[in-house]
Amino acid sequence: MTIAIAILPLMNVTAKYLSAEYPTTQIVWARYAGHFIFVLLIFLPSRGLRLFRARRLGVHLVRSILMFICTLLFFWALRYIDVPVASSINLTSPMIVTALAVPFLGEKVEFRRWLAVLAGFAGALIIIWPGGATAHWAMFLVAGTALLYAIYQILTRKVATEDSAETSLAYIALVGTVILTIALPFDYRIPTSWTDAGLHFFVGVVGGTGHFFIIQAFRLGEASVLAPFNYGQLIMATVASYFVFDTLPDAMTWLGAAIIVASGIYITLRESRAGRSKGGG
C-alpha cells in the first residue's frame, strides 16, 4: 500500500504537466492503454480468457464507466488546479460512501460517524469556498469525481465476493481503453519529443502498477488498517508538485485537508471497531 501511495500521485503530477500541451482525452487514453497492457502482461499468461469471465458483467461495465468518468474529470480539473488541492477534495469520497451505504447497502450509521462526515464535507467547503486564493470552478469537477468514485466503491462492495480482483481490474482497463481509442482520433496531438512520449507511457504504467499494488495490499491486510494510508497521497502530491511546479497549497487548503483527513481516519476507525464488534472480536 505504501508503494501504491508513493507512486500514484506521480501519475497525477505527470498528467498535470502534460495537460499544458496535450488534450485531456489523450492523457486519459495513455493512462488506460498503459493500464490495459499492464493487466494483460501480468494476468493473461496465467488466467487466459478466463480473466474476462464475470458473473455480474453489467455491474462491472457500470463500475468501469464510472471509473473512466472519474479519471476524465480529475485529469480535466488538473489543467486548472494544483494536484494537492484536487487530491484533498477527492479524499471526501470515503465520507460519501458512508452516507450512501445507508440507502444502497442498508447499513446503519451512528450519530458520531454522521458528524465526522459533515466535518469532512466542511473541510472540502473550506477549500472550495469562493474568494480563497486557489478557488476555481474546476474544484467542482473533483467533487463530482469523489461522488462518482463513492458510487463505484458501493458497486464494488456488491460484487466483491463474486468475481476476482484481477477481473475487476481488467474490465476497468478494457472499458477505458476502448472508449478512448474510439475518441482519440478526434482529439489527439502527436508528442513533440521522446520525453513527452515517455511521460505518456509513464502515466499508464504508474496507473496500472499502483492499482495492482492496492489490490495486493487488500488481499493481504484488513481494509481498516490500509484505508488511512490513502491520506499519504497528500504528502506525496505536495512534495511532487513542489519539485515539478514550485507550488505549495495555501493556508485554507491545508486547513480543509487537515479536517478531511481527520474525519476520514475517524470514520475508518469507527468502521473497524464496528466490524470487530459484529465479528465478536
pLDDT by residue (tens digit) across 194-230?
999 999 999 988 988 887 787 777 777 766 567 677 7
Within-domain flag for 228: yes
Q: Give pLDDT, residue 145.
A: 93
Within-domain flag for 21: yes
- Report the alpha-carbon distance of residue 12 to residue 17 in Å, rounded: 9
Please state the domain count of the chain.
Answer: 1
Within-domain flag for 96: yes
More confident residue, 1 or 177: 177
Within-domain flag for 170: yes
Q: How confident is the model at residue 105 (pLDDT cuts 50, 70, 90)?
A: low
Q: How confident is the model at residue 255 (pLDDT cuts 50, 70, 90)?
A: confident
Q: Cell numbers at residue 59, please?
A: 455491474
pLDDT by residue (tens digit) across 140-186?
899 899 999 888 878 877 776 777 778 888 898 999 999 999 988 88
The conformation of residue 122, written as its DSSP 8-state character, comes to H
Range of the domain at 233: 2-274
pLDDT by residue (tens digit) across 262-281?
888 887 777 666 655 555 54
Q: Which residues lie closer than 8 Å to 234 by C-beta, 6 or more apart? A: 84, 87, 88, 91, 257, 261
Within-domain flag for 261: yes
Within-domain flag for 281: no
pTM (2 d.p.): 0.83
Within-domain flag for 280: no
Within-domain flag for 22: yes
